[in-house]
Homo-oligomer: A and B are copies of this chain.
Amino acid sequence: MGFEGADPGTVRPGGRTARVRSAVLQAAGDALAEHGFAHLDLADIARRAEVGKTTVYRRWGTVTSLVADLLLDMAEQSLPRTETGSLLGDLKANARLVQRTLADPRQGALFKAVIAAATCEAKTAEALHRFYDIRVKEWAPCVQQAVDRGEVPEGTDVHEVIRAVSAPLYYRLLTSSDCLDAAAADQAAEAAVAAARAGAYLRGDEGRA
């Protein structure tokens, strides 16, 4: 009697278990980037990771659940942001980073696949949301600095400004066949700055026109 063991991987997370996890997550990323989310099978991932397929099924069970764990892993690896001294410079740096990531064949495909997976299961969606919350929080300070400098009105929702930079890039990635170039990134940053200056992102009551 007593408790049935908790999920596998939680009691002895060291050594082999950790090695298996990172090998599987690596393989999952590769497979997602290659085949996309739909045509994905866990046995293939197990083969790539040189791990028994039983193990993959036992620890993750479903593709979406594996993607959720992958997102947890991705959220932990954060690139430090650059600081240029001006809001436009900082946001352009951010936009270029996003643009380069999404335009990269492997990373771009991976992000598409991860977003697709998140639309299919609440738990995976939650992991994706957490991932973006972290990224947004990392970059928000540069907008706060602009507020402090007086470049942008007091009361601006700084997180929303960061999201405004990424949004058009993701929208283009998903809904159009246009290429994601540096010009698109710069445009996204410029638009966000212009809108922020005009008070479009004032928190609480909706700003004036």
Contacts and interface: CB of A to CB of B under 8 A. Distances in A.
Given A164-B168, A200-B194, A64 B38 contact: yes
B132 A176 contact: yes
A198 B195 CA distance: 8
A206 to B, nearest CB: 5
Interface in A18-43: 36-39
B63 A177 contact: no
A88 interface: yes
Interface stretch (A6-14, A45-53, A72-80, A108-116): A108-116
Given A119-B36, A120-B39, A191 B200 contact: yes
Interface in A182-209: 183, 186-187, 190-195, 197-201, 206-207, 209
A1 to B, nearest CB: 35
B120 A36 contact: yes
Given A200-B190, A206-B190, A209-B190, A171 B172 contact: no
Interface string A159-176: 010011011101110111
A177 B132 CA distance: 11
Interface of A: 36-39, 63-64, 88, 112-113, 115-121, 125-126, 128-129, 132-133, 160, 163-164, 166-168, 170-172, 174-177, 183, 186-187, 190-195, 197-201, 206-207, 209
Given A163-B171, A163-B175, A191-B201, 20 more contacts: A36-B121, A37-B116, A38-B117, A38-B121, A88-B209, A115-B115, A116-B119, A118-B174, A119-B174, A126-B177, A132-B175, A160-B187, A163-B168, A163-B172, A167-B171, A174-B174, A187-B200, A190-B209, A191-B192, A194-B195
16 contacts: A36-B120, A37-B116, A38-B63, A115-B174, A116-B117, A119-B174, A129-B175, A164-B191, A167-B167, A167-B171, A167-B172, A183-B206, A187-B200, A190-B207, A191-B191, A194-B200
